[in-house]
Amino acid sequence: MKKGGTAERKPFRPFDLALAGRNGVKRFFHCFYKIEEEGWSMEKMKVEEKRGQKTKMNGALMLIEALKAENVEVIFGYPGGAVLPIYDKLYDSGIFHVLTRHEQGAIHAAEGYARISGKPGVVIATSGPGATNIVTGLTDAMMDSLPLIVFTGQVASNVIGSDAFQEADVVGITMPITKHSYQVRDVQELPKIIKEAFHIATTGRPGPVLIDIPKDMTTLEGEFDYEQDIHLPGYQPTTQPNHLQIRKLVEAVSQAKKPVILAGAGVLHANASQELQRYAEQQKIPVAHTLLGLGGFPADHPLFLGMAGMHGTYTANMALYECDLLINIGARFDDRVTGNLKCFAPKAVVAHIDIDPAEIGKNVPTKIPIVSDAKEALKELIHQEGKPGDTAAWLAQLEGWKREFPLGYKNDTHAVKPQKLIEIIYELTNGEAIVTTDVGQHQMWAAQYYKFNQPHRWVTSGGLGTMGFGLPAAIGAQLANRGATVVSIVGDGGFQMTLQELSVIQELNLPIKIVIVNNQALGMVRQWQELFYEKRYSHSLIPNQPDFVKLAEAYNIKAFRAKTEEEARTVLQQAFALKEPVLLDFHVAADENVYPMVAPGKGLHEMVGVKLCEESLQ
């Protein structure tokens, strides 16, 4: 030391590699390379250095910051004790939150948002009953492959397993109905868990991911690091098709005389509608849709056969029965599509394109399996420019079936026919509305008579068949596409399961048009009792209904009632002219059934009600 306490300055020494050690050398040359070779400025170096710095914050704020990093625009949720720290940070976060009136409404709204936007729906529910109220929605999303990120509150870590107030084993309950589930045990792991959750939910076959967060994990502090890369060795979805399998399919198509494509929701999830149309036109292959696949191929296209399955068109079902090559793209061969498996596509070579290898060969033996993203597989098939098969006679036969056995019904001037109601809605919306439904007869009529020519316009519960789905799903759909016309077609039974969400629609002034197909019954249950249980209508008729118009008015929502076709058209015109929510109560023919129909245990070629459709056109 010099006098006065000033440290003695040592002379400059060249960089000593030996003293710096391995990490120092790596840092030195890394920085030198970036500055000298890449032309990095000192400002850019400071940004790079800042990225490596970690900010300390509590778990609740970590969650909010992670959602911002994932560009989350809206959260659907319901607060409670275990998630109060999260809601406190949400208060001034700038993220839009929708307070639904029940947790089931929140998760169905998130499903509607995910289906229309293609982005993951985000849900927050508190511990115990809040978490158990979302079980139906999780199952629904799992079966229909919808990406959700669901945060559930949990009791504090030190009382887990003690039957504490509002404790439930949420991970144990939901493990079979989620794509993956976590329980946070270390606040430092929370950012990594959230980032992994978004990755898992949105890649491969989409699905719901649940994160269970004990309350203390939201108040403890840790270092927030959201820049880390995600690498999950046990989860590496195959997105590119195998070239040899593609060639096998190209060869099979060139030899086929009666090919058909069965297109499911996988086409929509992959945003592959344009590729599907190009491929079908290139190879002259007709297309049938599953219920969830509607909109993936234009309904007014000459190659479109309609929906296949239990209530599918005669042409679509007979095409699946008679075809010699069946190409499944993004569908899972569920029982409502196949009917009796012993009679399903008995003459066909089956090819199956699916991103989930577990679905291939699960229900139907598959000769040409192709594990791939639907869009990537279709792009490769188009690129191959394979020789089309000789399908002229097949296409002519299908056109004949379309003319001879179209969908139809006997019109009635005394009551509104539900099929006619759907046709009027289609006409007044120019086929461009987003349509959500509950489950039952009205769902099938909507699928049959609303012609979806564009993708991402159809929101319904397929695999689980959840009553009460349609109304809250419409909330999410409208928030996903603010400028769209959204029509929620519901039955009088299912509507009453989640009608409390009218409050949200009114509060946000969402211009959703709620169409109640009111037949004073659990319509599909009543139809099955009529056909298979000797008309013993055990608890399926609901003659004592509330006044739905007055109910809507109690929520300060405009409402109309119609009992004839003329009245129906008038009130629908009035409703669509209004830029606000409207409820419409249509008293339809109560004894109307959905046809065609494939009875349980029967093959697709054994439809009933086909003659009725034919006679209706005479």
Q: How confident is the model at residue 29 (pLDDT cuts 50, 70, 90)?
A: very low
Strand order in the sheet with 582-587: 458-459, 434-437, 486-491, 513-518, 582-587, 558-562
In the chain, domain spans:
56-224, 243-404, 418-594
- Residues 34, 54, 119, 166: which is the catalytic one? 166
Question: In this structure, which topology does domain 418-594 adopt according to CATH?
Answer: Rossmann fold (3.40.50)
State yes or no: pLDDT of 41 exceeds 90: no
State yes or no: pLDDT of 547 exceeds 80: yes
Under DSSP, the state recorded for 212 is: E
Give me the mean pLDDT over the 75-90 stretch.
98
- Cα–Cα distances in angstroms (integers) from residue 476 to residues 43, 179, 301, 481, in the given order: 43, 21, 29, 9
Q: For residues 346 and 387, give the distance between their C-alpha atoms in angstroms, rounded to a whole number.
A: 25
Q: How confident is the model at residue 47 (pLDDT cuts 50, 70, 90)?
A: very low
pLDDT computed for residue 576 by the predictor: 98
State yes or no: pLDDT of 145 exceeds 70: yes
Give me the mean pLDDT over the 265-290 stretch.
98
The pTM (predicted TM-score) of the whole model is 0.90
Give me the mean pLDDT over the 285-309 stretch.
98
Q: How confident is the model at residue 412 (pLDDT cuts 50, 70, 90)?
A: confident
Active site (annotated) includes residue 215: yes
pLDDT in tens, 331-362: 999 999 999 999 999 999 999 999 999 999 99
Question: In this structure, which topology does domain 243-404 adopt according to CATH?
Answer: Rossmann fold (3.40.50)
User: Strand 180-183 relative to strand 96-99: parallel, antiparallel, unpaired?
Assistant: unpaired
State yes or no: pLDDT of 413 exceeds 70: no
Q: How confident is the model at residue 8 (pLDDT cuts 50, 70, 90)?
A: very low
- Residues 65, 70, 103, 359: which is the catalytic one? 103
Residues 6+ apart with CB under 8 A from 501: 100, 101, 102, 105, 109, 471, 472, 475
Q: What is the CATH architecture of 56-224?
A: 3-Layer(aba) Sandwich (3.40)
Active site (annotated) includes residue 175: no
Q: Output the 3-class SS for 383-415.
A: HHCCCCCCCHHHHHHHHHHHHHCCCCCCCCCCC
State yes or no: pLDDT of 43 exceeds 70: no
Give me the mean pLDDT over the 397-413 stretch.
91
State yes or no: pLDDT of 530 exceeds 60: yes
Residue among 102, 148, 147 nearest 125 (CA)? 102
pLDDT computed for residue 611 by the predictor: 66
pLDDT computed for residue 54 by the predictor: 76
Q: Residue 17's Cα: distance from chain center in Å?
A: 57
Percent above pLDDT 70 for the chain: 90
- Residues 143, 524, 597, 607: which is the catalytic one? 524
Q: How confident is the model at residue 488 (pLDDT cuts 50, 70, 90)?
A: very high
Phi, psi of 350 (to 5 degrees): -105, 125
Q: How confident is the model at residue 415 (pLDDT cuts 50, 70, 90)?
A: confident
Active site (annotated) includes residue 165: yes
pLDDT in tens, 190-231: 999 999 999 999 999 999 999 999 999 999 999 999 998 899
User: Strand 486-491 relative to strand 513-518: parallel, antiparallel, unpaired?
Assistant: parallel
- Residues 215, 417, 420, 513: which is the catalytic one? 215
Active site (annotated) includes residue 111: no
DSSP character string of 447-510: HHHS---SSS-EE---SS--TT-HHHHHHHHHHHSTTS-EEEEEEHHHHTTSGGGHHHHHHTT-
Cβ-in-10-Å burial (0-12, 13-18, 19+) of 295 comes to buried
Range in 52-56, 135-139, 466-470 the model is least confident about? 52-56
Q: How confident is the model at residue 526 (pLDDT cuts 50, 70, 90)?
A: very high
Give me the mean pLDDT over the 133-145 stretch.
98
pLDDT computed for residue 26 by the predictor: 36
- Residues 29, 165, 399, 427: which is the catalytic one? 165
For tokens 């170096």, the residue is 45
Q: For residues 145 and 330, give the distance between their C-alpha atoms in angstroms, rounded to a whole number.
A: 11
Q: How confident is the model at residue 612 (pLDDT cuts 50, 70, 90)?
A: low
Q: For residues 398 and 322, give the distance between their C-alpha atoms in angstroms, rounded to a whole number.
A: 11
Q: Residue 567's Cα: distance from chain center in Å?
A: 34
Q: For residues 493 and 506, give the distance between their C-alpha atoms in angstroms, rounded to a whole number.
A: 21
SS3 state of residue 559 = strand
pLDDT computed for residue 615 by the predictor: 55
Active site (annotated) includes residue 38: no
pLDDT in tens, 554-575: 999 999 999 999 999 999 999 9
